Structure 1
Amino acid sequence: MIWYILIIKLICTTVITALDAVSKNLLTPIVEYGEACGYESCPQTKPDYLNVHIVASTHGELGGSRTFLEHFTGDGSQMFTTSDINMKNILDSVITSLWTDRARTKLNATFLECARPLVTWQADTFGHSREFASLMAQMGFDGHFISPISFDDELARMTSRSLEFVWRGSDDLGAETDIFTHKLFDGYWSPPGFCFGIGCTDPMIVVDAEFNNVAERIQAFKKQILEHQSPFYTTNNVMVVMGQKMGYHDAKIWFTNIDTLIRSINEAKRKDDEVNLNLMYSTPACYLKEIKKALPVLKTKQDDFLPIANDKNAYFTGMFYSRPAIKYLARELHLYLLIAKQLQMFGHLKNHDQLFEDIQWIAGSLLDHTVHTGGMQEHVNSYYTMKAHKGKELCMQIIRQAFNQLRGAPNKTPYYMCPFNVSSCWTISHNRSYIIIYNPLAWPVTLPVRLPVQRVKYNLYDNKGDTIDHSIIKIPEFAKRIPERFLPSHSPALYDEMVFIAEKIPPMGYRSYYLQIEGSRTKRAIIKKMTKNKKRKFLTRQSHSVKASDDNLITQYDDDYYLDDLTHKPTIIEFANVSKGEEDSLKEYGYVLTPRSKSNETYKATEAPKREGGIEAHHLDNISTDSITPHQLNLSSSCTGAPTPDHTELPTINSTDKLADTTTTTSASITPLLTSTIKTVTDYYGDEGSFNITNDEENNGEVTWEQELMFRGAMDSNPEFVSKHPTLAVVKSKIVEEVQFQFSSYAGLALRLYKELPYVEIDWCVGPIPVDDAFGREVFVRYSTDLQNNGVFYTDSNGRQTIKRIKNKRYTHQLVYTDDISANIYPITSKVYIEDTDKNIRFSIFPDRGEGCTSLDEGEIDIMVHRRLAIDNNGPTDGINDTAVETGLVVRGKHRLYLSKADYKPNKFFEKKFAKELEIQPQIFTSAHPFYDSSIGYTNWSECRNEYSALNKKLPIGLHVLSFEKWNEKLLIRFENYLESTDVVKNGVKIVNILNLFKDYLIISCEETMLGTNIWRSGYFKMEWQKGKFVKKFNDVYGNDSNLEFADDVGRQYEKVNLAVGIKLVPQQIRTFVCSYRLVRETS
């Protein structure tokens, strides 16, 4: 019952804080009457015995083959008949069995401090991340009980007797993230031969005089403990889990057999040379207490348990990217929940506690290990997809109220979410509308906005009434084919998008923009067919670097407050003469690849090659058709320090009056944060192959890939091309330049470069994936460069710290011969990058959801994006076969590519900040359709408050307001220093003054809690262990022992909050406060 007890306790701890003094007194244990809780309530052990802690355990599921409702009630399962094996019946059976039998230990009603869980239980996940261990330690847990881990890791730990160890969750935070970790010996299952639940075939323990088998069962249990388990632990205590998944349906059978086992072994006569066993009912926390008393010297760990394998051919890596749609929905719902919590306070709304509880149950369910990983049948996936949309709509109930309060709009003014992922939005498809962009982050954010519109001329106004530059461009061909676009709920299906740059959306606030059709035809973006033409344009390099002072960026970076738009500082770029000795400047500065119009050419560029990779080059002519079918297209630049390459030709764009201000001129305002240029290749793969964008003749198309696994790899090392003849469209406008590729009926992508933004956006779209071969296929994108990363790449750990990966290597054990592909696939949440230390270049990719990635060959990053498999290898029982609109599911997502100097600190800071901006990105809300709201006019809109920020002042750079929400009658505020020590020039310590930080809220006092908000920081004392040494920086030492340096482990002393001085945060630290406040204005 541990799983249920843990959940129930967490709930009790947070809701009973509002009890009156009399109730609290009644619920507090009285020591004089033998009442106790926590470690004081644990059973007594015997010092000269091997103490066997029996932990009765079962757990239910939220995903897999049944939905939560089916798991809990049994309805709808077992071929649409009711099943008696369900969580409700299990709870009833367990409680009844323990409550009515006076001979057995009775249930305790635990509340308040007694209800606080002391350890965590992570016994059924597909891996265990380092950041999760860090978060558990920061919540105040004393121990972390996990299963499974990789078979080869477990064998190595058994040999070294290190199934129990101290895990350091963060190098930057050090000892405060250390947590005792125990690998469950048999997972959440009973030892072999002692399962007494439904579906088990093990014999019951019979005490009947005629059919007695007690002696035989006792010996079998002793052998299991003494020979197969206790030799691998270092103390005279072992923990034995007795249970199974969905076990204890008939709890009386379980407890009767366990009672018999305990009594029979404890009362049996022992031989002189036999080890004495002492069996007892216990809990993981009580077991932890006894381990602590034994004072073992524990081994240490600083990496993670990813990926994990059942055997050398069965890696749980497919779930890193299975069902990518549910992964995106989970992230999106948590973002909406964050926005709703903020706006609840900023809008001074009435109590919505029950509404938030409903939303949080849905959001939490989406993070279940079988739901978020996609390990569920299709009908279960559909159930949670529906719940995710319901959760978003519940959030909108709060968001709508808050917008009307803040904007001063009529109370019933509606706002909507649009399905922008299918390039559709019915509410802005008419002649007038407005949008609101809300930024939940604590600093201004600049982002590109794409709105589905008609192909007519629009006026776009900001909150001040000024017109905003924008372009109308055609949506990619792959977007036009998304089946959901043609549903009645998404009509009309629009084929154009308005693109503009929303600059500096206010922190923890919003800005509104107004759209109005002018009536005449808009100035178009340019799309030309690629074919031979003597007129052509070349790609040349920029000759000027960043105008901001490098000294200022480095020496003042940690102490200054937010530097206004540091990473977006513009500069005027002139185009260099590639043929006149400018190559040397490329070695000193970084540049962005920029097109130059042939008509404005001042120097003759190096002649483009006639053939690339054995394929003729094609040039653009003046034909006005919209698409092309080239055999190969090549766009690239060369590495810093290398000779200037030949430049591939692009179409010449002839300017006319109608198209004049959408063409590229000889100067442009761009963001110069890309500090290096590099030859980059983008490949699109399925088990049908790839398409290259490169001018490297040696590497052109020479790629092999094995079909990525489900759980056991039935690999195909000879993939076919998705398409050898993709359709391509070049789109140019004054806001964005992009190349749109259609590889096949189920795969396409667009490569975009926005004005004044320092990254490249990849908009990919995959599906419906064919399954006509009865197997299906995996689809991934390969990004190839000429960097030498020596098999090393870096991923995030749960979106926060960075962890080093090395191909075919593990830090704590030797890999058993295994699959070179599946053993090297790791999950990413926010970022993956590779570095070439010789060239001092880093290449980073930022996803928009959890995905799987690897770097199998030098200079390459593979990111798995979608899969549809008609077969299953030890997975969720029916393959991965998502469907929608009566066909295979189409999934659309984005990657952002960023190139920088590897050792340049401001670039590292930008990456951390940018990752936050993508994870917690500003959201776009739209007005109602004018047909349903006739008041949508410019005059009415302009009379509202169309820009707002909840902050009175800027935060130090690197700080994020993680939480700002109602907490009974107080405020719950969390601050996060999201930087790592490797990102900063000095010590990275940030100080924030909270007193007048938020508008309307004057902070009076704050008391700090642990991360989980259920323990006062002043009353927490960490459990200390005797342990081995930790290295100072894991990423520096892993794969390079010459960098070995041990941490000094000097712990930080707790400092009571002094609001006058400010709140201090070191890199990676999160601090949580419950604050009293006074409103400084009247609520509306």
Structure 2
Amino acid sequence: CDLGKPNMLNVHLVAHSHDDVGWLQTVDGYYYKTVQYILDTVNFELNSDPKKKFIYVEMAFFYRWWNELTDHMKQSIKKTVNRGQLEFILGGWSMNDEACTHYSSIIDQHTIGFKFLLDNFGKCGIPKIGWQIDPFGHSRELASISAQFGFDGLFLARIDYQDYQERIKTKTLEHMWFSSPTLGDQASMFTASLHRSTYTTPPGYCFECDDPPVRDDPMLDDYNGDHKVANFIDDAMEQAKYFTSNHIMWTMGSDFSYSNARINFKNIEKLIKLVNAKQANGSKINAMFSTPSCYLYALNKANLTYTSKNDDFFPYAHSGHTFWTGYFTSRPNLKGYERTANNILQVCKQLSAFAQLVDEHATEKKINFLKQSMGVLQHHDAVTGTSKQYVAYNYAKMLSTGIKECQVCYFSFQCSNLSHHSHFQFCNLMNVSSCKFTETNQNFAVVVYNPFSQMVGQYIKLPVTSNQLTVFDDKLKKLDVQFIPVSSETKKLAEFRGSTSQFQLVFHVHVPSLGYATYFVNMSNGWLFFIVTAYLKLTFDDNTGLLSMIENKERRIQIDARQSLMYYISSSGDNWKSGAYIFRPEGVAGNFSDVNLTIHELVSEAYQSFTSWASQVIRLYKGAKHFEIEWTVGPIPDDKGKEVVSSFETSIKSQNIFYTDANGRQMLKRVRDHRPTWNFENTEPVSGNYFPVSSRIYIQDSRQGIQLTVLNDRSQGGTSLREGHLELMIHRRNFNDDSLGVDEPLNEPGIDSKGIAARGLHYVLLDTIDSSVALHRSMAQQIYMAPYLSFLDLKKISLEQFWSGLKKRVNENVHILTLEDWNQGDVLLRLEHYYEKNEHGDLSKPAVISLKNLFAPLDIVSFEERTLGANQKLENVQRLRWNVQKYGKTKIDPKTWNVELKPMQIRTFLLKLSK
């Protein structure tokens, strides 16, 4: 790195291109139209001059381009990487969103990018910088993950305009972010919010735009060299007012910049030469090609002390009335599909690791497509729902193709005699009570695989045509079952067409951790079993048809609780309207005019129809400590834009406080109409209080020790707008664009072009505050790592019926986050402690787990500990040390292979297996 000159203002010019992995065009469209030429011409320029530097971020594009190169070209690129000219920043498959993503998928998408870079570029391909310059708000958990990747710093661009104004005044755009109260210093991250709150080239220097080039020949009439230099010096001095060191950074690029890199590099080179020539006349400005890591290293050498931050950067607004909180819910089906695809991916990775197939590369290829598709879906215009409609279709197609490929891998599972069963069947439409296999067969086996680290006991539902069926477990014990008629609301869905199912067959399964159990379905004389629960009682109001009371009979807790579907009318006035990004309602949420309530006493379900396009089922299961709300909304009418919410009004005295999760992991305290780091002026009382809810939201009554928790099955926006209130947005349809780039309204057409219907689940817990933490922590993991079903004809079955991949029980507070093939038979393992410090009397204590004889099919002979991204040995990591940081590592007993996990700690191991 060129660290500049000590007595001058050093301007670090960072050449970059921000390449969205889909947005206004598909991933393929962007690559073939622009990205391949960016990478071609940039690397030609780098090879022509060793002083030039460039950073690249999105591995989804670079991977594709790299695989098209000749061996000679690859060697040339490696030289520019080794010289520090081409630097990989961030290194993930995409620049992931931070609101709608789950921490597991964030880690996964970085891991595949890191592995590609390590395999092809070695140590020089290890990214050292987080570069989240376009996501619409920033998560505390993402910062914690970045620190655990071994990053030295994190650069942000979009922060709330009020926050930015305060930081400009106080010179605190650069600060230390303590992103996990539990992990402390291990999760500390030097964080820099970019000047002007943007990653684009400063005005006047976008040479591939309309800004004039540098005309540096004084003999020509249009010479502008002196003018350019004077402006550069003025602009640099102005920016320096807001920073504390003698180093500032300019981002020289924007979206899909450098498709003709010669234009940019030649003009920047001239500018540097002219600016630095002025030093002979006393100028104190020094300009140079640089990178974010070099800039950060220069700051670190300056040895300054920085202020700190503990909260997050949500929600984001770029001006008054423009809270980017609509995308927390936009395209709910795509958000739900992304979670489903991840569930299947984790199953396939585990099965592949257990199988240790001879044809390892063929199997890895099957899984890789879904890995890469999931990496693309984490992008901040993918899972967010903020792309054009045809791009959203393409995202869904990628997931569908990846899922099918992964299911092929499932067939090849060799452990426990599951191999060679190419007749496994899968049903991907069961959420609309459709499954051709179970509808056309009345004698079949159900194989239930559990990817979660604990044994799971839960109910499953299968679409069937008859209520004359019997179910047996693996020991041929007859099970209690019940038959739920397929609802009229389900039959109205366009997606249900072609299904012949009349009932949902419901029964309880027990499935071992990282293993499977088999159940047998046969024709019989049929019977009904009445589900009741010893834990919960729900009361409904005869007049309104709504839930009116929740009682936890075990704890003797009872609260008034009115739950209803409601909707906001989307704003369509003045400049800022509700759209894919922005949520801006006209007034408060309104009620539907009528509610029809039907109680199915035999099956403990209440059906509520609010209107022809909005309904829900409130469901109780025997033995469960929660109840479900299965909501179905849409097509939303095309009269006015609407944003539909599930709203709870309760007697809980929550004051102004509620809690939401950060990417499914940490829990953050939220205070209505308040921001911890500046005096917040809320111009939008509803959307200004919306926060991302990736997995759960809750309110507490501290005086009575009561907590109401709602868990969801996909990312949504949520809030508490008054005492005792909780609200989650579940679906939205808008007829105006919000003028933020997509240039089309969020109006998903659906199958009939009349609008799309969405269906999902909320899981509701009422318990004491002390007991709730263990319930919601465990349930959130189970929802995310749900059991996966496959089906076999009874005539073809020849498999062990009950099997676990674990030899011994894993601690209740420990989760096997990752188990997947790595290189040549090695296996990547991540173990996590998923409780925070002081959350629970017992479960927040450190946990110890032994790697010896942990997995039944795997003979581990040695291991090494890696960073969270698995691209370097943990012992080799040397992060930059700042004045406020301390470091420490946990050792492993070499005799027992005992691994200690502290609260919120994730430890990553590369396991060497016996051949």
Residue 179 of structure 1: CA displacement?
1.0
Distance 1:432 1:157 in 2: 67
Residue in structure 1 matched with residue 464 of structure 2 by the alignment? 453
Distance 1:330 1:92 in 2: 33
Query: What residue identity is the alignment partner of 2:759?
Result: R
Query: What residue identity is the alignment partner of 1:442?
Result: S
Contact 1:708 1:821 (8 Å CA) reproduced: no
Residue in structure 1 matched with residue 314 of structure 2 by the alignment? 306
Cα distance change, pair 1061–345 in 1 and its aligned pair in 2 (3 A)? closer
Query: What residue identity is the alignment partner of 2:520?
Result: Y
Residue in structure 2 matched with residue 728 of structure 1 by the alignment? 597
Please give the residue correspondences for 1:375-390 in structure 2 after superposition, counting only pairs within 5 Å.
375-390=386-401
Query: What residue identity is the alignment partner of 2:337?
Result: L
Residue in structure 1 matched with residue 104 of structure 2 by the alignment? none
Residue 87 of structure 1: CA displacement?
0.9
Query: What residue identity is the alignment partner of 1:970?
Result: D
Cα distance change, pair 883–512 in 1 and its aligned pair in 2 (3 A)? farther
Distance 1:346 1:788 in 2: 50
- Alignment partner of 1:908 is 2:856: no
Residue in structure 2 matched with residue 970 of structure 1 by the alignment? 826
Residue in structure 1 matched with residue 246 of structure 2 by the alignment? 236
Residue 770 of structure 1: CA displacement?
1.0
Contact 1:338 1:440 (8 Å CA) reproduced: yes
Residue 113 of structure 1: CA displacement?
1.0
- Alignment partner of 1:790 is 2:655: yes
- Alignment partner of 1:995 is 2:871: no
Distance 1:509 1:466 in 2: 20
Query: What residue identity is the alignment partner of 1:97?
Result: E
Residue 675 of structure 1: CA displacement?
5.8
Residue 878 of structure 1: CA displacement?
0.7
Residue in structure 1 matched with residue 841 of structure 2 by the alignment? 985
Distance 1:1012 1:306 in 2: 25
Distance 1:481 1:745 in 2: 10
Contact 1:712 1:874 (8 Å CA) reproduced: no
Match 1:1073 to one of 887, 895, 909: 909
Gaps of 5+ in 1: 1-41, 75-85, 527-541, 543-569, 574-590, 596-611, 619-630, 641-671, 690-705, 928-934, 1028-1048, 1080-1084
Distance 1:675 1:392 in 2: 45
Distance 1:495 1:525 in 2: 19
- Alignment partner of 1:339 is 2:194: no
Residue in structure 1 matched with residue 756 of structure 2 by the alignment? 889
Cα distance change, pair 866–712 in 1 and its aligned pair in 2 (3 A)? closer
Please give the residue correspondences for 1:665-814 in structure 2 after superposition, counting only pairs within 5 Å.
676-687=557-568, 711-712=581-582, 714-717=584-587, 720-722=590-592, 724-733=593-602, 736-771=603-638, 773=639, 775-814=640-679
User: Identity of counterpart residues, as a percentage?
Assistant: 29
Residue 307 of structure 1: CA displacement?
0.6
Residue in structure 2 matched with residue 116 of structure 1 by the alignment? 126
- Report Cα offsets for 1:228-279 as digits up to 9, x if no partner: x11111110001111111111221111111011100000025665x5x0110
Distance 2:181 2:170 in 1: 24
Q: Give RMSD over aligned pairs.
A: 2.4
Query: What residue identity is the alignment partner of 2:560?
Result: K
Please give the residue correspondences for 1:952-971 in structure 2 after superposition, counting only pairs within 5 Å.
952-968=807-823, 969-971=825-827
Query: What residue identity is the alignment partner of 1:498?
Result: L
Gaps of 5+ in 2: 54-76, 83-120, 571-575
Distance 2:52 2:690 in 1: 49
Match 2:500 to one of 476, 493, 506: 493
Cα distance change, pair 226–675 in 1 and its aligned pair in 2 (3 A)? farther
SS at match of 2:226: helix
Match 1:89 to one of 37, 42, 47: 37
Query: What residue identity is the alignment partner of 1:118?
Result: K
SS at match of 1:881: coil
Match 2:324 to one of 306, 311, 316: 316
Query: What residue identity is the alignment partner of 2:648?
Result: Y
Contact 2:138 2:313 (8 Å CA) reproduced: yes
Query: What residue identity is the alignment partner of 2:502?
Result: Y
Cα distance change, pair 407–708 in 1 and its aligned pair in 2 (3 A)? farther
- Alignment partner of 1:221 is 2:232: yes
Distance 2:52 2:147 in 1: 34
Contact 1:831 1:845 (8 Å CA) reproduced: yes
Residue 732 of structure 1: CA displacement?
2.4
Match 1:206 to one of 211, 215, 231: 215
Distance 1:974 1:817 in 2: 42
SS at match of 1:883: coil
Residue 93 of structure 1: CA displacement?
2.1
Residue 204 of structure 1: CA displacement?
1.6
Residue in structure 2 matched with residue 145 of structure 1 by the alignment? 155
Query: What residue identity is the alignment partner of 2:805?
Result: A
Distance 2:779 2:481 in 1: 23
Cα distance change, pair 634–385 in 1 and its aligned pair in 2 (3 A)? closer
- Alignment partner of 1:134 is 2:82: no
Contact 1:407 1:946 (8 Å CA) reproduced: no
Distance 2:466 2:895 in 1: 55
Residue 1054 of structure 1: CA displacement?
4.1
Cα distance change, pair 673–286 in 1 and its aligned pair in 2 (3 A)? farther
Cα distance change, pair 1004–218 in 1 and its aligned pair in 2 (3 A)? same
TM (norm. structure 2) is: 0.88
Contact 1:796 1:830 (8 Å CA) reproduced: yes
Query: What residue identity is the alignment partner of 2:694?
Result: T
Residue 456 of structure 1: CA displacement?
2.9
Please give the residue correspondences for 1:30-109 in structure 2 after superposition, counting only pairs within 5 Å.
42-74=1-33, 86-100=34-48, 108-109=80-81
Contact 1:793 1:834 (8 Å CA) reproduced: yes
- Report Cα offsets for 1:5-40 as digits up to 9, x if no partner: xxxxxxxxxxxxxxxxxxxxxxxxxxxxxxxxxxxx
Contact 1:882 1:889 (8 Å CA) reproduced: yes
Contact 2:386 2:580 (8 Å CA) reproduced: no
Residue in structure 1 matched with residue 536 of structure 2 by the alignment? 592
Distance 1:1076 1:521 in 2: 52
Query: What residue identity is the alignment partner of 2:622?
Result: K
Contact 2:537 2:550 (8 Å CA) reproduced: no
Residue in structure 1 matched with residue 199 of structure 2 by the alignment? 188
- Report Cα offsets for 1:493-536 as digits up to 9, x if no partner: 3131111122x311000111111222x4654989xxxxxxxxxx
Residue in structure 1 matched with residue 573 of structure 2 by the alignment? none
- Alignment partner of 1:325 is 2:325: no
Residue in structure 1 matched with residue 695 of structure 2 by the alignment? 830
Residue 721 of structure 1: CA displacement?
3.5
Distance 2:661 2:530 in 1: 38
Distance 2:536 2:892 in 1: 49
- Report Cα offsets for 1:336-384 as digits up to 9, x if no partner: 1111111012233230233333221111001100001001111111111
Cα distance change, pair 444–820 in 1 and its aligned pair in 2 (3 A)? same
Contact 2:446 2:518 (8 Å CA) reproduced: yes
Distance 1:261 1:673 in 2: 74
- Report Cα offsets for 1:955-1011 as digits up to 9, x if no partner: 111001111122213221110000112322156100001101110223222211110
SS at match of 2:402: helix
SS at match of 1:1018: helix
Contact 2:578 2:738 (8 Å CA) reproduced: no
Residue in structure 2 matched with residue 657 of structure 1 by the alignment? none
Q: How many pairs align?
A: 837
Q: Which has the larger radius of gyration?
A: 1
Residue 799 of structure 1: CA displacement?
0.6
SS at match of 2:623: coil
Distance 2:136 2:877 in 1: 31
Residue 98 of structure 1: CA displacement?
3.0
Residue in structure 2 matched with residue 509 of structure 1 by the alignment? 515
Residue 434 of structure 1: CA displacement?
2.0
Distance 1:362 1:469 in 2: 40
Cα distance change, pair 323–841 in 1 and its aligned pair in 2 (3 A)? same
Residue in structure 1 matched with residue 725 of structure 2 by the alignment? 860
